[in-house]
Amino acid sequence: MQIKTLSQPNFITQLRALYIIARKDWKVFWRYPLNAVSMIFQPLIWITPIYFMGKAFSVNGQALGFAAYSGTSDYMSYILIGTALSNFIMTVFWGMGFALKEDMNAGVLESNWLAPISRPLILVGRTISSLLVTTIISILMLLIAAALFGFHPTGNIWMAVLIAIPALIGLYGFGFAFAALVLLMREANTLVDVGSFLVQGLTGTSYPVQALPYWLIPVALALPLTYGLDAVRGVTLNTETLLPIHLEVLLLVSSMFLLLWIGAWVFARVEKRVRALGTLGQH
């Protein structure tokens, strides 16, 4: 007797699964409209203390100390670009790491795992809707921030968007490995919070990495995202970059492939391990 699979997974069914996961998340997101509004204002709330703190460090509105590090005294534009990009960092961390924990809590992780689609694809699907939402929110945030604090890009914004794409894809590799950690530890809040905070802190989302303590600078320089943020600011604000921009882009693209490969490998190993342990549905 021939064993036949009930489902016939192919490229189209995988795409359909992605679409269904994204649509479900989209519906859940808009089910709570106040949450959506608060997401626009959240990043603005986080940077407001920096805005006023910057005033305490400035003379006649000029943060000259900051300019000596970054090449621009417009610290708010510098920070706003970092904030917009860190919105995406948060999306990947929460979308991949926390989404698994949500499924564990809701008791649907095991049944989702039994569906005939690739498991990394489930993780990617969980971020599609939030990436779309984050893009809309980041644009709105920049518009509101421009009115409140001032945002003065002097370079090429479209080039910056192009540079951000490989940085973001590379982040997915990181997200896979991170999701594996959540599967193992079965706790997400602290891991996601601490993980995303560390990445934001070490890659210089709010400051030039040269301001880090000297012993942390090598760690920052080892993270590809540091060059992503640096290059995006370089082309948008004409700031001084760590390396020539074309070298930073080259680094980003090559690290993107490397991170995706490492992340997928770690996830596959850990996922196999939790299935062997039988702890997938536990929380």
Partner 1 sequence: MNTTLQPQVLGKTGLLSELRAFYAVLRREWVIFIRYPSWVIALLIWPLIFPMMYILTARALSGPDGSGLKIFMANTGANDFIGYIVVGSTVWMWQNIVLWDVGFALRNEQMRGTLESNWLSPTWRFSYLLGATGTQVVSMFTFILITALEFGLLFGVRLHGNPWLALLVTLAAIPSIYGLGFAFASLVITLKEANTFVFLVRGLVMIFCGITFPVTLLPAWMQSIAQWLPQTYLIHGVRAAAFANASLVELLPDLAALLAFGAFWMLVGYFTFIWMERRARQTGAIGQY
Residues found near partner 1 in the complex (CB under 8 A): 32, 34-35, 37-38, 41-42, 45-46, 48-50, 52-59, 63-70, 75, 79, 105, 185-187, 189-191, 193-194, 197-198, 200-201, 206-208, 210-212
- State the sign of the Cα–Cα–Cα–Cα dihedral 69, 70, 72, 77: negative
Beta-carbon contacts of 65 under 8 Å, excluding residues fewer than 6 positions away, are 57
CA angle in degrees (0–180, nearest 5) for 228-234-238: 170
Minimum gap (Å) between residue 211 Cβ and partner 1? 4
DSSP assignment of 186-246: ---HHHHHHHHHHHHHHHTSSS-GGGS-TTTHHHHHH-HHHHHHHHHHHHHH-PPPSS-HH
Minimum gap (Å) between residue 205 Cβ and partner 1? 9
CB closer to partner 1 out of 205 and 255: 205
CB closer to partner 1 out of 19 and 57: 57
Q: Could you give the CA distance from residue 173 to residue 128 in angstroms, rounded to a whole number?
A: 15
CB closer to partner 1 out of 189 and 254: 189
Minimum gap (Å) between residue 7 Cβ and partner 1? 31
Q: 129 and 26 in contact (C-beta within 8 Å)? A: yes
CB closer to partner 1 out of 48 and 118: 48
Helix, strand or coil, per DSSP, at residue 35: helix
Minimum gap (Å) between residue 120 Cβ and partner 1? 24
CB closer to partner 1 out of 110 and 257: 110
Minimum gap (Å) between residue 198 Cβ and partner 1? 6
